[in-house]
């Protein structure tokens, strides 16, 4: 295979297999090319990926040497996307009774979801994460988008146990905004002991639901490594029960009467 063909094939391979360690001989065999040629190919792919702000190739030397693609959305790409997101979300037609915001169109657009996932995954790319956890329903697409980039599995907490998941562990928790006692369930098979978990959800007000997930993780002896949300409601900061989270956007000053709303970049923009 010629270099030009190899570059197309390699780019596709890395995007499909993020964070996967692959040896140089694998590529030499696949393409019938010398290791030195493959090394040159990899240098080109690495450089262009960095220039485009989508990630880089990590090379390990030695006998067990090889290469893996580390996805990373550049701050520039990330901030531009967050600014667009703020504008989209400030549309007054989104305001629903109770100060909630209609976001189903954003969460229903796979390309939006994939970009949100990339920004969150980039914020967590230096952490050791074994699994992404979310709660049904709205957080699910975001959880998969983050998990696709970090190449780890997703576990889904439910509010009702299902026969199709086997035995499960459940806890009760107090919902932050409604002060109601609710139940959360996670199948026993979902998590191994001492798993490093990243919690992802779409929206955080006081943080009761996320706090519930943390309690549930304690039952599994798991470690909460990171918490990422698409949007946080700034108004509830006094009552917030969760700390150390990463948000893409912050919703403030929802005025039901005037039908106005402000959306600002969340704390993910503060990270470097």
What residues line the site for a second copy (CB under 8 A)?
Answer: 3-5, 7-12, 15-17, 44-45, 47-49, 51-52, 54, 96-98, 100-105, 108-111, 113-114, 136-138, 140-141, 144, 147-148, 151-156, 158, 163-166, 187, 189-190, 203
Output 20 or 271, the one with its CB closest to a second copy.
20
Count of other CB atoms within 10 angstroms of residue 214: 18
**How far apart are the C-alpha atoms of 127 and 150, rounded to whole Å?**
10
Q: Tell me whether strands 246-255 and 260-265 are parallel, antiparallel or unpaired.
A: antiparallel
- Taking the complex as a whole, the smallest distance from the CB of residue 109 to a second copy amounts, in Å, to 5
Output 189 or 271, the one with its CB closest to a second copy.
189
Output 188 or 271, the one with its CB closest to a second copy.
188
Max Cα-Cα span within the chain:
69
- Taking the complex as a whole, the smallest distance from the CB of residue 31 to a second copy amounts, in Å, to 11
Output 66 or 153, the one with its CB closest to a second copy.
153
* 50 closest CA partner among 87, 31, 22, 76: 76
Output 9 or 28, the one with its CB closest to a second copy.
9
Output 26 or 271, the one with its CB closest to a second copy.
26
- Taking the complex as a whole, the smallest distance from the CB of residue 270 to a second copy amounts, in Å, to 27
- Taking the complex as a whole, the smallest distance from the CB of residue 38 to a second copy amounts, in Å, to 14
- Taking the complex as a whole, the smallest distance from the CB of residue 138 to a second copy amounts, in Å, to 8
- Taking the complex as a whole, the smallest distance from the CB of residue 62 to a second copy amounts, in Å, to 26
Output 86 or 142, the one with its CB closest to a second copy.
142
**How far apart are the C-alpha atoms of 35 and 28, rounded to whole Å?**
6
- Taking the complex as a whole, the smallest distance from the CB of residue 186 to a second copy amounts, in Å, to 10
Output 137 or 218, the one with its CB closest to a second copy.
137
- CA-CA-CA-CA torsion sign (100, 176, 116, 105): negative
**How far apart are the C-alpha atoms of 80 and 9, rounded to whole Å?**
29
- Taking the complex as a whole, the smallest distance from the CB of residue 156 to a second copy amounts, in Å, to 6
């Amino acid at each position: 295979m010629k270099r030009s063909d190899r570059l197309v094939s390699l780019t596709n391979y890395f995007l499909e297999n993020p964070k996967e360690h692959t040896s140089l001989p694998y590529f030499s065999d696949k393409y019938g090319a010398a290791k030195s040629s493959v090394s040159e190919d990899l240098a080109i792919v690495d450089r262009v990926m960095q220039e485009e702000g989508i990630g880089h190739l990590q090379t390990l030397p030695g006998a067990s040497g090889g290469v893996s693609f580390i996805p990373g959305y550049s701050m520039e790409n990330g901030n531009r996307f967050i600014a667009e997101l703020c504008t989209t979300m400030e549309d007054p037609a989104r305001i629903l009774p109770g100060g909630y915001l209609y976001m189903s169109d954003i969460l229903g657009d796979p390309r939006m979801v994939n970009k949100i996932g990339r920004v969150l995954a980039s914020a967590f790319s230096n952490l050791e994460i074994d699994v992404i956890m979310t709660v049904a329903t709205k957080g699910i697409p975001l959880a998969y988008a983050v998990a696709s980039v970090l190449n780890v599995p997703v576990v889904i907490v439910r509010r009702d146990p299902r026969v199709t998941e086997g035995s499960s562990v459940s806890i009760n928790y107090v919902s932050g905004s409604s002060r109601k006692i609710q139940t959360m369930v996670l199948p026993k098979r979902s998590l191994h002991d001492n798993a490093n978990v990243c919690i992802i959800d779409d929206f955080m007000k006081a943080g009761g639901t996320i706090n519930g997930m943390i309690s549930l993780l304690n039952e599994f002896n798991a470690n909460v490594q990171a918490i990422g949300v698409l949007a946080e409601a700034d108004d509830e900061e006094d009552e917030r029960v969760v700390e150390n989270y990463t948000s893409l956007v912050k919703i403030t000053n929802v005025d039901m009467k005037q039908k106005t709303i402000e959306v600002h970049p969340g704390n993910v923009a503060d990270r470097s």
